[in-house]
Amino acid sequence: MPIDTSGTFKLGARSVKRLGYGAMQLAGPGVFGPPKDRAAAVAVLREAVARGVNHIDTSDFYGPHVTNQIIKEALHPYPDDLTIVTKISARRGADGSWIPAMSPAELTQAVHDNLRHLGVDVLDVVNLRSMLDVHGPKEGSLEAPLTVLADLQRKGLIRDMGMSNVTARQVADGNKITKIACVQNQYNVAHRDDDALIDDLARDGVAYVPFFPLGGFTPLQSSTLNDVAKGLGATPMQVALAWLLRRSPNILLIPGTSSVAHLKENLAAAEIDLPDDAMAALNGIASAA
């Protein structure tokens, strides 16, 4: 299949294709409530798997519960090679706000909610998503919540643990509690705070999964992206993904979309081989930002 072109990388105990899918866009506006068109959301997930995607990122706080329920409706019973990664540490207020939920009882409840809504006995990968600052990594101890999740991992409810929205120090401290299989932070061609962390994780064979690979709620806009895309006969979003694929072999992509057309476009980025001069031009975007 075309997405095989960009290869695989280890995500905990398994290998997954480097082009995956992020399910956050399948909930309603503001990642709250049901989507406008549930059948369309189901269709996006089925198309992703039909095109070879075997890594889907989700959370029970998308909706809340909505995204996981749609994944179950669309794909259960799951293909043997599908890895579903969820994240835990927040709940949603009645107004859609994101509220930290990192007490032992809340974390345990969240693991059981994910198991039930996804319809599985074991969660493939759980990211502890730091809520010390909702908007970005902030130093501070995550020992208490990680210890709770590591305990649930030992009980067999979680296969692999990851961390999200975290600093390099928090990852190093996390590894003293349980093996951290992946890190999921904000990163893209224009937002490169994690350059050093990515290289360190690559050296250790640990997956780095950038969220907002296309810019998230503010999609990337750059004349350099447009120019490179034009020269290659690709779209700017495809070039942004191809840049990430070439940036480091441990980067796994989970671009989010609610549209089958965008999904097809994004997966086709696996076949783009960025030439050195395009890479150099794109590397200039972050320093110019």
Question: Which residues are known catalytic residues?
Answer: 62
Pairing of strands 207-208, 180-184: parallel
The answer to whether 201 contacts ligand NAP (rule: CB under 6 A) is no
Q: How far apart are CA 226 and CA 77, in angstroms?
A: 41
CB 127, CB 87: distance < 8 Å: yes
Task: Give the angle subtended at the CA of 253 by the CAs of 188 and 202, to the nearest 5°.
Answer: 80
Burial class (CB in 10 A: 0-12, 13-18, 19+), 172: exposed
DSSP line for 112-135:
HHHHHHHT-SSEEEEEEE--SSTT
Tokens 């990337």: give the residue: 220
262 scored as a contact of ligand NAP (CB under 6 A): yes
Q: Which of 23, 88, 177, 251 binds ligand NAP (CB under 6 A)?
A: 23
| Gap between the Cα atoms of 220 and 229, Å rounded | 13
Q: Does 86 bind ligand NAP (CB under 6 A)?
A: no
Q: Tell me the two tokens of residue 274.
A: 């960025």
Q: How far is the CB of 164 from ligand NAP (least distance, A)?
A: 4
Of 116, 258, 281, 286, which one interacts with ligand NAP (CB under 6 A)?
258
Could you tell me the sign of the dihedral formed by the alpha carbons of 29, 34, 38, 42, in that order?
A: positive
Count of positions on this chain that bind ligand NAP (CB under 6 A)? 27
Task: Determine which residue in the list 216, 227, 249, 281 makes contact with ligand NAP, applying CB under 6 A.
Answer: 216
Work out whether 257 is an interface residue with ligand NAP (CB under 6 A).
yes
The letter for the amino acid at 94 is A
Site pattern 143..162 for ligand NAP (x: CB under 6 A): --------------------
Which window, 16-24, 34-42, 94-102, 278-286, contacts ligand NAP (CB under 6 A)? 16-24
The CA distance from 32 to 61, in Å, is 9
Residues of this chain, 226-255, that bind ligand NAP according to CB under 6 A: 237, 254-255
Span near ligand NAP by CB under 6 A; candidates 92-100, 101-109, 196-204, 207-215: 207-215
Write the binding mask 88 to 127 for ligand NAP: x where contact by CB under 6 A, - elsewhere: ----------------------------------------
* Binding interface with ligand NAP (CB under 6 A): 22-25, 57, 87, 129, 164-165, 184, 211-216, 219, 237, 254-259, 262, 265-266
